Amino acid sequence: MLTVTQALSAAGAALLWASLPSSAIALERPLIIAHRGGAALLPENTFPAFDNAISLGIDMIEFDMQVTADDQLIVTHDGTVNASFCAADPAYVGSLGSVRGTSLKVLLKFDCGAKHRDIYPSQKAVLGAHMPALDTLLARYALKKVLFFGETKMPGIGEGEVDPVAFAQLVAAAIRKYGLERRFVLQSSDYRTIDAMHRIDPHVRTCLLTPWQAKSDYLKLARRHHSSCMLLRLQDADAEQVARLRRAGILVFSDVVDDEQGWRDYLTRGVDALFTNDPASLKRFLLRRTQTQLTH
């Protein structure tokens, strides 16, 4: 007999699909996840990127969450403000510091859209694109037909400290404020925040990142942390392992991949969601694939 925890995990896939646009279910295709909103196209972790992903009909927007000096949640990836693509407000006096050591008010003034990382050479510049507060992001998209895939990013060495339970409590409060318990998936490589979220609100689904580092049986690992989702690279799980997880109700997501051969490889192995910086190209690829299947 399944325990309550196992039953909740097994039901995770069904609940997730129930929140999706009908096109995903009708075509029986994997979910499309826009990494940082689609960082190959528009400034990462900003409203222009998220707006574009939603206008494309993407199933899930992915973003990074960090805790500021005044214990607010902001959407940004790096633990220290990255000067390679984020410029300070002209009125700001001081050096670029850690997110944890900077207030939300100050962080919201950085322009992170005029420049881009070297790894996103095709990204279109959007002057004045800022890193948003999590509360503002959820308010903006709460009524949209989209799922949320938020990662708890802990500070690195020298960037300050955040209590993982307090971090999870902040995220849970934001989710609850907008009634998104069924549409938000918490992801993390720091499983302390995963475990804390389960204790705070077991209805919020969680996803394990870097599970290969645990050197444990994947299904047992998912059960241990009450997770109904796992990100697995091609080199870390074969088709048989993935099929076993999916039969048990564990959703399997790809790593971030931006080329057609990579998408084909994940589809061949088995996957519930494809994770990409280029959601527009992935959507076109899946549409062509579906059309080809229907004609054969």
Express each pLDDT in 117-136 by its tens digit.
999 999 999 999 999 999 99
Which CATH superfamily includes the segment(s) 4-70+132-294?
Phosphatidylinositol (PI) phosphodiesterase (3.20.20.190)
Burial readout 201-237 (b: 16 or more C-beta within 10 A, e: otherwise):
beebbbbbbbbbeeeeebeebbbebbbbbbbbeeeeb
- E strand or H helix that includes residue 13: helix 12-18
Alpha helices in 234-278 (DSSP H): 239-247, 260-269
Q: Which residues contact 217 (CB under 8 A, 6 or more apart)?
A: none
CA dist 42 and 112 (Å) reads 11
Express each pLDDT in 35-77 by its tens digit.
999 999 999 999 999 999 999 999 999 999 999 999 999 999 9
Domain boundaries, the chain: 4-70+132-294
Residue 63, helix vs strand vs coil = strand
- Torsion angles phi and psi, residue 16, rounded to 5: -65, -45
The answer, yes or no, to whether residue 244 has pLDDT greater than 50, is: yes
Express each pLDDT in 160-214 by its tens digit.
999 999 999 999 999 999 999 999 999 999 999 999 999 999 999 999 999 999 9
Task: Please give the full DSSP string across 168-182, using - where no structure is assigned.
Answer: HHHHHHHHHHTT-TT
Q: How large a percentage of the chain has pLDDT more than 90? A: 84
Average pLDDT over residues 272-277: 97
Which tokens sit at 170?
Answer: 């902040």
The pLDDT value recorded for residue 291 is: 84
